[in-house]
């Protein structure tokens, strides 16, 4: 019984229930695309030489409902339909007396082979081939006018899809990158090259359903989600370094320079009298300030012999990132991967409670393996 339930369940719907916005976006786009094609037919007044054909509706489903599919991209859509029509015309002209069902079988099978050879596999192309066979008395006499009609109307549908998706801020067409040049998304966090991703798609027979870029984005998102769930119970306060080396806003830069000399650190947090974080003072900013003072001309030094003593508060900068003690560590991993900050201050309210460095994160990761 369990095996029967699984078998029957495999015949049920697998796709997720669409959101209201996706439903409206896909259906409205397909309607507008086909309306444009119909207007072109009406405007030309070409009669039997320029007409709507049924597979164009299937192409509209792909272009407007699944625009990220490799099967829905401009080259497969336009060339898939056109090549299928050309192949079937050539077949019927070469073998006009072939008995049924051989014309239908050879037309569809040959169309698939031609589309795959031209890297233009488009499911409506198979329907296009079958349509030409079934309506051969009306379509075959059109000759190359039929292929031109298929090409122009499919191209119009694809262009309508491009404008529509751009207007609604959807990504179409996909910008294909050769596997050798493809890069995993999210700053290369995946340890997989574009060739690795393409090999995975081939291994699981998904080359015509996903592009390497799509697979990389899915894997990166899944990896990030898994990390966040795994470290959801670990807070930044548990892994931070609580031993702090800080300076006050009123400390002189001589004091700061002495701290930098005695401790191999690249930056120091600046805290107020109540322990609140005021900013960060970088070693590089201190060097820049000293160099600018050294470059001041003798004349400017005579004009301003008494410069006010510079303090840490005058040279500090605002911290790029801050987190609270209760922030889950998983939320911080992606931030550390994308930013080159030396550390991230951990706050208890507004007061500085500790610092998190990459070393602290690595130590936590090793401890939780």
Question: Residues 43-58: pLDDT tens digits?
Answer: 876 555 788 899 999 9
Q: Does residue 259 share a domain with residue 214?
A: no
Q: Does residue 144 share a domain with residue 216?
A: no
Q: Is residue 109 part of a domain?
A: yes
Instruction: Report the interhelical angle of 74-94 vs 144-167 (nearest 10°).
Output: 170
- pLDDT the model gives residue 152: 93
Q: How confident is the model at residue 323 (pLDDT cuts 50, 70, 90)?
A: confident
The count of structural domains within the chain is 3
The lowest-confidence range among 131-135, 233-237, 364-368 is: 364-368
CB under 8 Å to 354, separation ≥6 — which residues? 237, 240, 241, 242, 244, 325, 345, 346
Q: Does residue 358 share a domain with residue 331?
A: yes
Q: Does pLDDT of 261 surpass 50? A: yes
28-42, 194-208, 249-263, 295-309: range with highest mean pLDDT: 28-42
Q: Does residue 149 share a domain with residue 205?
A: no
Q: Quick: pLDDT tens for 165-181.
A: 999 888 888 765 454 44
Does the predicted TM-score (pTM) go above 0.85?
no
Q: Does pLDDT of 158 surpass 80? A: yes
Q: Is residue 175 part of a domain?
A: no
**Residue that terminates a domain, selected from 140, 167, 194:** 167
Q: Does residue 163 share a domain with residue 270?
A: no
Q: Is residue 67 part of a domain?
A: yes
- pLDDT the model gives residue 186: 44
Whole-number Å distance between alpha carbons of 240 and 252: 28
Q: Does pLDDT of 77 surpass 90? A: yes
Q: Is residue 14 part of a domain?
A: no
Q: Is residue 276 part of a domain?
A: yes
Q: Does residue 254 share a domain with residue 202?
A: no
Q: Does residue 102 share a domain with residue 87?
A: yes
Average pLDDT, integer, range 58-86: 93
Q: Does residue 355 share a domain with residue 312?
A: yes
Q: Does residue 215 share a domain with residue 194?
A: yes
CATH number at residue 337: 3.10.580.10
**Residue that terminates a domain, selected from 211, 230, 249:** 230
Q: What percent of the chain has pLDDT over 70?
A: 78
Q: Does pLDDT of 107 surpass 80? A: yes
Average pLDDT, integer, range 96-104: 89
Q: Which residues form the domain of 255?
A: 236-367
- pLDDT the model gives residue 19: 82
Q: Is residue 177 part of a domain?
A: no
Q: Does residue 300 share a domain with residue 355?
A: yes
Q: What percent of the chain has pLDDT over 90?
A: 29
Q: Does pLDDT of 87 surpass 90? A: yes
Q: Does residue 326 share a domain with residue 189?
A: no
Average pLDDT, integer, range 326-345: 75
Q: Does pLDDT of 333 surpass 80? A: no
- pLDDT the model gives residue 368: 61
**Residue that terminates a domain, selected from 118, 137, 167:** 167
Q: Is residue 321 part of a domain?
A: yes
Q: Is residue 180 part of a domain?
A: no
Helices (H), the chain: 2-9, 20-44, 55-65, 74-94, 102-117, 123-134, 136-139, 144-167, 185-188, 194-203, 212-230, 236-239, 253-262, 283-295, 298-303, 312-315, 330-338, 358-367
Q: Does residue 89 share a domain with residue 201?
A: no
More confident residue, 34 or 335: 34
- pLDDT the model gives residue 337: 66
Mean pLDDT of the chain: 81
């Amino acid at each position: 019984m369990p095996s029967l339930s699984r078998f029957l369940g495999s015949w049920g719907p697998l796709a997720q229930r669409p959101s209201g916005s996706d439903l409206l976006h896909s259906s409205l786009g397909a309607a507008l695309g086909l309306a444009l094609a119909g207007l072109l037919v009406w405007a030309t007044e070409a009669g039997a030489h320029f007409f709507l054909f049924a597979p164009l509706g299937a192409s509209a489903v792909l272009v407007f409902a699944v625009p990220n599919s490799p099967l829905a991209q401009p080259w497969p859509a336009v060339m898939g339909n056109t090549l299928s029509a050309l192949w079937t015309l050539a077949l019927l002209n070469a073998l006009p007396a072939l008995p049924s069902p051989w014309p239908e079988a050879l037309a569809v099978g040959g169309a698939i082979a031609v589309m795959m050879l031209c890297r233009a596999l488009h499911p409506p192309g198979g329907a296009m081939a079958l349509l030409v066979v079934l309506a051969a008395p009306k379509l075959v006499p059109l000759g190359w006018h039929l292929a031109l009609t298929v090409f122009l109307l499919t191209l119009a549908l694809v262009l309508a899809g491009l404008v529509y998706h751009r207007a609604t801020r959807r990504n179409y067409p996909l910008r294909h990158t050769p596997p050798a040049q493809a890069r995993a998304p999210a700053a290369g966090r995946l340890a997989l090259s574009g060739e690795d991703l393409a090999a995975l798609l081939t291994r699981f027979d998904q080359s015509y359903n996903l592009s390497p870029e799509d697979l990389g984005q899915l894997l990166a998102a899944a990896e990030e989600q898994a990390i966040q769930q795994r470290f959801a119970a670990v807070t930044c306060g548990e892994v931070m370094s609580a031993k702090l080396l800080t300076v006050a806003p009123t400390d002189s830069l001589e004091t700061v320079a002495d701290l930098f000399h005695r401790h191999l650190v690249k930056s120091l947090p600046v805290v107020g009298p109540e322990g609140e974080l005021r900013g960060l003072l970088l070693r590089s900013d201190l060097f820049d300030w000293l160099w600018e003072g050294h470059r001041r001309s003798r004349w400017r030094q005579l004009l301003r012999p008494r410069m006010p003593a510079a303090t840490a508060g005058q040279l500090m900068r605002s911290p790029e990132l801050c987190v609270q003690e209760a922030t889950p560590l998983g939320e911080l991993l992606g931030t550390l991967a994308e930013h080159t900050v030396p550390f991230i201050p951990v706050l208890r309210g507004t007061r500085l409670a500790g610092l998190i460095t990459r070393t602290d994160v690595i130590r936590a990761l090793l401890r939780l393996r």
